[in-house]
Amino acid sequence: MSRLTEKEKLQDDNYEFPYHYIPSFDNENFSQVKTLRWGYEYLSYIRFVLEKLKTRKFESLLDVGCGDGRFLYEVSRCFSHKRLVGLDYSQRAIRHAIALHPDIEFICGDLTDTSLLRDRFDIITLIETLEHIPPPHIRSFAKGLHYYLKGDGRLMITVPSKNVGLNPKHYQHFDLESLSGVLEPFFAILEHYFINRMSIWTNLLERLLVNRFFILNEPHLLNKIYNSYERYLLPAEENNAVRICAVCRKK
């Protein structure tokens, strides 16, 4: 692995533990997490992308920026007979992914290396990854995405919205115009969705779930709150969305 930038090092340090696996929603039961609101938000946009995947026919999927493999794990549960490959620059993250899911193919490497993978894919997913790419490198990164996506394939992206303050690990956040701009000239956005609404209700939810006085651990209540969140606070508008989801085609 090449020398990491300061922001890449911040992200890589997080992979001392595969933290994406802390929240879960198995058999209609939401698990308790240290920061419950983060767990709700994280699972909700993963489940949103999974629902979009269910509307498409595909045989192969490449998850770029796969981290510790949590998203691909969820994909494998829904699509058990598809070819799934995860790619990330972080050796530490890939080691976690391989250890947790030896039945899924994980590769540590650079997407811009056109000799890295032997195949092209029906779908490429880019889940909360583009914001980690240094702006001078985005064009070559998008070119790599273009190279590995089949001609009639689809690129599915989620990115943080400019409505949210810049995370120290991120180079930039996006609105629809800037997202379209960084994907040029390789991709065109076919569909877009604004998700994870910011509102007075999300603020109240955060105060309820994250405080120093008590922690919720009653399963029925946790499930009810999560289901309400997904139903009412996952859909958003441009001016109050935490993130953007886009489905793109090759140009």
Q: What is the CATH number of the domain that holds 251?
A: 3.40.50.150
- What is the Cα 145 distance to its own chain's centre? 16
CA distance 24 to 209: 16
Q: Are residues 143 and 164 in the same domain?
A: yes
At how many degrees (to 10) do helices 176-183 and 138-148 cross?
Answer: 70
CB 12 within 8 A of CB 102: no
Check residue 1 and give its pLDDT.
Answer: 41
Q: How many domains does the chain have?
A: 2
Between 222 and 41, the more confident residue is 41
Q: Are residues 101 and 210 in the same domain?
A: no
Tell whether 123 is covered by a domain.
yes
Check residue 202 and give its pLDDT.
Answer: 79
- CB burial of 187-203 (b: ≥16 within 10 Å; e: otherwise) equals bebeeebbbbbbeeebe
Q: Give the pLDDT band (50/70/90) at residue 177.
A: very high
Check residue 228 and give its pLDDT.
Answer: 84
Dihedral of the alpha carbons of 208, 214, 218, 219, in degrees to the nearest 10: 60
Q: Are residues 141 and 205 in the same domain?
A: no
The range of the structural domain enclosing residue 65 comes to 1-15+56-195+237-251
Tokens for 52, please give them: 């979009």
Q: Are residues 125 and 203 in the same domain?
A: no
Residues 189-194 have a mean pLDDT of: 98
Q: Are residues 139 and 162 in the same domain?
A: yes
CB 146 within 8 A of CB 250: yes
Residue with tokens 């793109």: 248
Question: How do residues 26-47 score in pLDDT, each as one tens digit?
Answer: 655 655 444 445 678 888 999 9
Torsion sign, CA atoms 123, 102, 47, 233: negative
Q: Are residues 75 and 139 in the same domain?
A: yes
Tell whether 2 is covered by a domain.
yes
CA distance 117 to 150: 13
Q: Are residues 134 and 247 in the same domain?
A: yes
Tell whether 144 is covered by a domain.
yes
Q: Are residues 100 and 203 in the same domain?
A: no
Q: Are residues 112 and 205 in the same domain?
A: no
Q: Which residues pair with 246 in a beta bridge?
A: 157, 192
Ordered strands of the 149-160 beta sheet: 105-108, 83-88, 60-64, 121-127, 149-160, 241-250, 187-197
Question: How do residues 62-120 score in pLDDT, each as one tens digit?
Answer: 999 999 999 999 999 999 899 999 999 999 899 999 999 999 999 999 999 999 999 99
Between 214 and 176, the more confident residue is 176
Q: Are residues 204 and 244 in the same domain?
A: no
Q: Are residues 65 and 101 in the same domain?
A: yes
Q: Is 142 helix (H, G, I), strand (E, B) or coil?
A: helix
Tell whether 50 is covered by a domain.
no
Q: Which residues pair with 248 in a beta bridge?
A: 155, 189
Q: Are residues 150 and 226 in the same domain?
A: no
Tell whether 160 is covered by a domain.
yes
Say whether pLDDT at 55 is over 50.
yes
Tell whether 25 is covered by a domain.
no
CA distance 146 to 83: 19
Tell whether 36 is covered by a domain.
no
Q: Give the pLDDT band (50/70/90) at residue 135.
A: very high
CA angle centred on 50, ends 119 and 226, rounded to 5°: 150
5-19, 94-108, 200-214: least confident range: 5-19
Tell whether 24 is covered by a domain.
no
The whole-chain average pLDDT of the chain stands at: 87
Say whether pLDDT at 13 is over 60.
no
What DSSP element (H or E) covers 105? strand 105-108
Q: Give the pLDDT band (50/70/90) at residue 23.
A: low
Residues 2-14 have a mean pLDDT of: 60
